[in-house]
Structure 1
Amino acid sequence: MNFLKNFFAIFLICLVVTICGKMIFAFYLFPDITISQKLYAIFFGYKFDLATSATIAFVATLLEFNKKTMVLLASVLIIIIFGIQVADTMYFYDSGRHISYEIRDATNDASGLLSVAFSQHTWLFVCSILAITVIFILSFFTFNKTLNVEKFNKFYIFKKILIILISIFFIRGMFQHIPLNPWQSSKITDPNLSLISLNGAYNLIYTNLKTKNELKQTKKYITEDENNSIKNLYGEIKDYKPMLNKAPNIVMFFLESWSGVHLKSYGGDFQTTPNFDSLLTKSIRPKAMIANGHRTTEGVFATLTSSQNPLGKSIAKTNLQNYEYETLIDLLKKYEKYSSVFFQGTNKDTSGTGALVQSLGFEKSYGKHNVSKKIFKENSWGVQDKDLYNFALEKLENMSQPFIIGLNGATTHDIVIPKEVELINFTNDEELNLKLNTFYYSDKWMYEFVEQVKKIYPNTIFVFLADHCGGGLPNSNFLNYMIPFAIYSEALEPKKIDSYISQRDIAPTLVDIVLGDYKKISPFFTGKSILRENNFFADYYHNGVLGVVKDNIAIEIIEDKMSCYDVSNFKEIPITCPKNSSFIANQIKSFTNVNQDLLFKGEIKEFAKYR
Structure 2
Amino acid sequence: MKEIRFHEILALIYRLALAYFFYQVARLLFWFFNKNLIPVEGIGEYLKLAYHGIAFDTTAILYVNSLFILLSLIPILINTKKGYQKFLFYLYFITNGIAYSMNFGDFVYYKFSQARLTTAVMNVAQHENNIGKIFFTSIAEHPFVVIWFVALIALWIFLYKRVKVPIQKPVKLIPYFIFSTVTLCLTALLVVGGIRGDFKHSTRPINLVDANRYVKKPSQGNLVLNSVFSFFRTLNTNNFREVHFVDESFITENIKPYKLYHRDGVDPKPNIVIFILESFGKEYSGAFNKNTDIKDFVSYTPFFDSLATQSLIATNAFANGRQSIHGMSSVLAGIPSLKDAFTGSPYSNQKIQSIVSVSNDMGYDTSFFHGAPNGSMGFLGFGNILGFKHYYGKNEYNNDADFDGIWGIWDEPFFQYFAKTLNTKKSPFMATLFSVSSHHPFKVPEKYRGKFKKGPLEIHEPIGYTDYALKQFFETAKKMPWYENTIFVLVADHTNQIGYPEYEKAMNRFAIPILFYSPNPKFNLKGEVNEPSQQMDIYPTLADLMGYNKKIRSWGRSLVSDKKEDYIIVNSSGVEQFIIGNYIYLFDGKDFTGIYDIKDLGYEDNLLGKVNTPEIKNGELKSKAWYQDYMDRVINRKLN
**Range class of TM-score, shorter chain:** 0.7 to 0.9
Cα–Cα, structure 1 residues 235 and 164, in superposed 2: closer, same or farther, change >3 Å? Answer: closer
Match of 2:634 in 1: 599
Which aligned pairs between 1:380-391 and structure 2 lie closer than 5 A?
380-391=406-417
Distance in 2 (CA, whole Å) between partners of 1:574 and 1:169 is 35
Match of 1:217 in 2: 240
Structure 1 residue 253, shift from structure 2 partner:
0.5
Structure 1 residue 444, shift from structure 2 partner:
1.0
Structure 1 residue 538, shift from structure 2 partner:
4.3
Q: TM-score normalised to the size of structure 2?
A: 0.82
Per the alignment, in what secondary structure is the counterpart of residue 446 of structure 2?
coil
Match of 2:511 in 1: 482
Structure 1 residue 386, shift from structure 2 partner:
1.3
Aligned residues: 587
The answer as to whether partners of 2:276 and 2:490 remain within 8 angstroms in 1 is yes
Letter in 2 for 1:98: R
> Is 1:321 aligned to residue 348 of structure 2?
yes
Distance in 1 (CA, whole Å) between partners of 2:413 and 2:152 is 39
> Is 1:446 aligned to residue 432 of structure 2?
no
Match of 1:608 in 2: none
User: Which of 572, 578, 588 is the equivalent residue of 1:548?
Assistant: 578
The answer as to whether partners of 1:85 and 1:200 remain within 8 angstroms in 2 is yes
Per the alignment, in what secondary structure is the counterpart of residue 135 of structure 2?
helix
Per the alignment, in what secondary structure is the counterpart of residue 342 of structure 1?
strand
Match of 2:227 in 1: 200
Q: Identity rate of aligned residues, in percent?
A: 20
User: Which of 260, 267, 282 is the equivalent residue of 2:310?
Assistant: 282
Q: Of the two, which has the highest radius of gyration?
A: 2
Structure 1 residue 363, shift from structure 2 partner:
3.0
Cα–Cα, structure 1 residues 239 and 98, in superposed 2: closer, same or farther, change >3 Å? Answer: closer
Cα–Cα, structure 1 residues 27 and 356, in superposed 2: closer, same or farther, change >3 Å? Answer: same
Structure 1 residue 385, shift from structure 2 partner:
1.0
Which aligned pairs between 1:250-261 and structure 2 lie closer than 5 A?
250-261=272-283
Structure 1 residue 581, shift from structure 2 partner:
3.8
Structure 1 residue 406, shift from structure 2 partner:
1.6
Cα deviation, 1:301-342, whole Å, max 9, x if unaligned, reads 122222333x13322343011222122211211221x23232
Match of 1:562 in 2: 595
User: Which of 503, 524, 535 is the equivalent residue of 1:493?
Assistant: 524
Per the alignment, in what secondary structure is the counterpart of residue 441 of structure 1?
helix
Q: TM-score normalised to the size of structure 1?
A: 0.86
- Gaps spanning 5+ residues in structure 2: where? 73-78
> Is 1:356 aligned to residue 382 of structure 2?
yes
Which aligned pairs between 1:93-492 and structure 2 lie closer than 5 A?
93-104=111-122, 105-106=124-125, 108=128, 109-115=130-136, 117-118=138-139, 122=142, 124-135=144-155, 137-138=157-158, 141-142=161-162, 145-146=164-165, 154-155=177-178, 159-177=183-201, 178=203, 179-190=205-216, 191-208=218-235, 210-211=236-237, 215-217=238-240, 227-228=249-250, 231-232=253-254, 240-242=262-264, 244-267=266-289, 269-309=297-337, 311-336=338-363, 338-368=364-394, 371-373=397-399, 378=404, 380-393=406-419, 395-396=421-422, 399-414=425-440, 415-423=442-450, 426=453, 429=456, 432=457, 434-456=458-480, 457-458=482-483, 459-472=485-498, 474-491=503-520, 492=523
What is the root-mean-square deviation in Å for CA atoms of aligned residues? Answer: 3.4
Distance in 2 (CA, whole Å) between partners of 1:537 and 1:288 is 12
Cα–Cα, structure 1 residues 102 and 488, in superposed 2: closer, same or farther, change >3 Å? Answer: same
> Is 1:33 aligned to residue 54 of structure 2?
no
Match of 2:544 in 1: 512
Structure 1 residue 102, shift from structure 2 partner:
2.5
Match of 2:68 in 1: 60
Cα–Cα, structure 1 residues 112 and 44, in superposed 2: closer, same or farther, change >3 Å? Answer: same
Cα deviation, 1:537-569, whole Å, max 9, x if unaligned, reads 242333344433456x552435153111328xx
Per the alignment, in what secondary structure is the counterpart of residue 60 of structure 1?
helix
The answer as to whether partners of 1:291 and 1:468 remain within 8 angstroms in 2 is yes
User: Which of 617, 624, 636 is the equivalent residue of 1:589?
Assistant: 624
Distance in 1 (CA, whole Å) between partners of 2:585 and 2:376 is 31
Cα–Cα, structure 1 residues 245 and 11, in superposed 2: closer, same or farther, change >3 Å? Answer: same
Distance in 2 (CA, whole Å) between partners of 1:149 and 1:582 is 68
> Is 1:525 aligned to residue 567 of structure 2?
no
